[in-house]
Structure 1
């Protein structure tokens, strides 16, 4: 059933028209000022007829296949994904672990040399549990990433 022009529009209908207008801006059919004017009118519209007037001078856009977003994606750098952020977080955690371990072992070495006798290797209690936890997180993260790629 086709919607009559006097029929009231829903928020979803207004959102679809706003998305179409954004695509027309991306394609260069509308200026930013025209887009802002029409967008304001979209959210003030109450009926299908009022919404139709806002896009009557523009070609139809299939919002399931957005031409502007596919052509722009080749030009724009890829935004950071969650996997990239997780990988960067793990790298930072391993770097902190290595730095703290190195400082502790240097302190242990200085104390051992200056005391003249064997000092219990206490830095292993700092780096051991921390390293095991990091290793488990790293392995779990790698397994989770490969599972996501398989789906």
Structure 2
């Protein structure tokens, strides 16, 4: 950090807040400690005040996860390259939502003793159409030469 007496900017406070959040998620800070330090970070005026909030934390490095393995290469070009992970996440979120709303609909239909109006199609249908469109557009764009 620059000299401790210099005034800090919002981006500096946000960087310290991110570092504190990472420390809390790794178990280095309790929720109470995190809340207290976060409040002090956003009240800080100088670099010195910000630096004091992280002096007892180890330097940040790229975390190495032993439990999360990188995904194997996929043959689907729709999820390859930049933005492909976001598209895969969007499909995963759609699937989770679809399972939930279909489960709720099924349970309410069973408990009512009749098949109710299939409202989940209005939740997952348009969303699925948009995702499919994005996937096909991306696949076509990835297959273009050049």
Q: TM-score, normalised by structure 2?
A: 0.51
**Mapping of residues 1-151 of structure 1, within 5 Å:** 3-62=2-61, 65=62, 67=63, 70=65, 81-84=89-92, 85=94, 140-147=133-140
For 1:96, the equivalent position in structure 2 comes to none
Aligned partner of residue 20 in structure 1, secondary structure: helix
Quick one: distance in 2 between partners of 1:138 and 1:22? 32
How many residues are paired up? 94
Q: Is the 8 A contact 2:90 2:131 kept in 1?
A: no
Aligned mates of 2:91, 2:141 — CA distance in 1: 10
State which structure, 1 or 2, has the greater radius of gyration over its C-alpha atoms.
1
Q: 8 Å contact 1:83–1:145 — kept in the other structure? A: no
Residues in 1 aligned to 2:49 and 2:131: alpha-carbon distance in whole angstroms:
55
SS in structure 2 of the partner of residue 51 of structure 1: helix
1:24-73 per-residue CA deviation (whole Å, 9 max, x = no partner) reads 111111000000000000000000000000001111113xx2x28x5676
Counterpart CA distance in 2 for 1:143 and 1:48 is 49
Unaligned 5+ segments in structure 2 are 70-85, 99-128
Q: Do the aligned partners of residues 16 and 147 (structure 1) sit closer, same or farther apart at CA in structure 2, a change above 3 Å counting?
A: farther
SS in 2 for 1:55: coil
Tell me the TM-score normalized by structure 1: 0.49
Q: Distance in 1 between matches of 2:43 and 2:60?
A: 22
Unpaired runs of at least 5, structure 1: 90-135
Give the equivalent residue in structure 2 for 1:121. Answer: none
